[in-house]
């Protein structure tokens, strides 16, 4: 069900401290923590002694201490101290997962650690650039991660699910999209010229007349999605590249499988206007969360009607082109990982 050899978002950096955090990624129990000197780490959440969850322990110095019998583990998973004895068995260790902090995100690699190349982390500079103000958040989704990726690559559902937030014009439901296959992902997008602005964007940009609106979605395997979205006053040159009379937002969606039927969902709106304005930040955070909760509602209902994230036996339509290409690439990646060496 999962691609193992890929970078997944484990946590926003701001949410990762010395208090151990229990998370399940790709069906495996993991504990996240930060040592006293500031190093972030991820270990198997199962003590090698009596299987107690290490997340119930505490960070002391540069070690995570099991809360059951006090065994201390270094960030590489080695047991470095056992109370009451000097000798430490060679097998006294837990699995350590590569963890890299970049773009305000702690990225975890659940597969072969020898293949964990940080250069393969997708470029998301707007998440920590001083030229952008980011409003990150987290949602837990009781649905398969591929259903959420399908949703993010599907622009046609916006007119129906998001009427109260980011849908503005009934014509959005039938405006065609263009799909492009990338080396390790899929891109889909469209322009909507002289459209009614969506409620959230109308407030953010103070639009009182129609706008030219853009939506460009990029998915990079296995589970990073980002959208270049926004709108500008109609006729001011946005389609030709001049967005100065509008607002631009990078909407980032980092989707990490928890189990076959649940997911971690890190989301963020980043803007290049009204930087540092707390009122605008609250508007966009609350608005983005409300939008994504609309998705969560339908996806959890959808999950109740399918097995895992499967869409086998269902009917495909023209608007599904990007989702189907993404699923095809994911199947190829999973098959490659499971093939005999």
Per-residue pLDDT tens digits of the chain, which is 341 residues long: 899 999 999 999 999 999 999 999 999 999 999 999 999 999 999 999 999 999 999 999 999 999 999 999 999 999 999 999 999 999 999 999 999 999 999 999 999 999 999 999 999 999 999 999 999 999 999 999 999 999 999 998 988 888 778 877 888 889 999 999 999 999 999 999 999 999 999 999 999 999 999 999 999 999 999 999 999 999 999 999 999 999 999 999 999 999 999 999 999 999 999 999 999 999 999 999 999 999 999 999 999 999 899 999 999 999 999 999 999 999 999 999 988 86
Last residue of a domain, which of 99, 134, 169? 99
The domain total for the chain is 2
Print the domain residue range for 83.
14-99
Cβ(281)–Cβ(135) below 8 Å = yes
Residues 65 and 132 in one domain: no
Residues 222 and 135 in one domain: yes
Look at residues 165, 168, 169 and name the one whose alpha carbon lies nearest to residue 283.
Answer: 165
Residues 81 and 137 in one domain: no
């Amino acid at each position: 069900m999962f691609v193992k050899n890929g970078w997944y978002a484990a946590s926003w950096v701001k949410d990762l401290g010395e208090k151990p955090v229990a998370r399940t990624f790709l069906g495996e129990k993991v504990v996240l923590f930060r040592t006293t000197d500031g190093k972030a780490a991820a270990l198997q959440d199962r003590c090698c002694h009596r299987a107690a969850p290490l997340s119930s322990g505490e960070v002391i110095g540069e070690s995570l201490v099991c809360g059951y019998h006090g065994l201390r583990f270094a960030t590489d998973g080695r047991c470095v101290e056992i109370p009451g004895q000097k000798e430490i068995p060679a097998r006294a260790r837990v699995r350590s997962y590569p963890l890299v902090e970049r773009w305000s995100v702690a990225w975890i690699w659940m597969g072969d650690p020898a293949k964990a190349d940080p250069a393969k982390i997708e470029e998301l500079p707007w998440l920590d650039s001083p030229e952008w103000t980011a409003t990150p958040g987290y949602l837990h989704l009781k649905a398969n991660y591929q259903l959420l990726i399908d949703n993010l690559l599907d622009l046609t559902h916006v007119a129906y699910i998001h009427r109260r937030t980011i849908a503005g014009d009934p014509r959005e439901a039938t405006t065609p999209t263009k799909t492009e296959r990338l080396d390790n992902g899929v891109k889909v997008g469209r322009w909507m010229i002289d459209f009614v602005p969506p409620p959230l964007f109308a407030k953010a940009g103070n639009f009182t007349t129609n706008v030219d609106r853009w939506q460009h979605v990029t998915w990079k395997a296995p589970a990073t999605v980002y959208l270049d979205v926004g709108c500008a006053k109609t006729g001011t040159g946005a389609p030709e590249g001049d967005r100065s009379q509008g607002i631009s937002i990078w909407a980032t969606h980092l989707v990490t499988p928890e189990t076959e039927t649940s997911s971690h969902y890190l989301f963020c709106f980043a803007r290049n206007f009204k930087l540092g304005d707390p009122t605008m930040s609250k508007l966009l955070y609350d608005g983005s969360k409300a939008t994504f909760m609309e998705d969560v509602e339908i996806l959890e209902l959808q999950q109740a009607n399918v097995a895992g994230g499967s869409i086998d036996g269902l009917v495909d339509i023209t608007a599904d082109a990007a989702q189907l290409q993404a699923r095809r690439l994911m199947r190829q990646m999973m098959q490659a990982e499971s093939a005999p060496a």
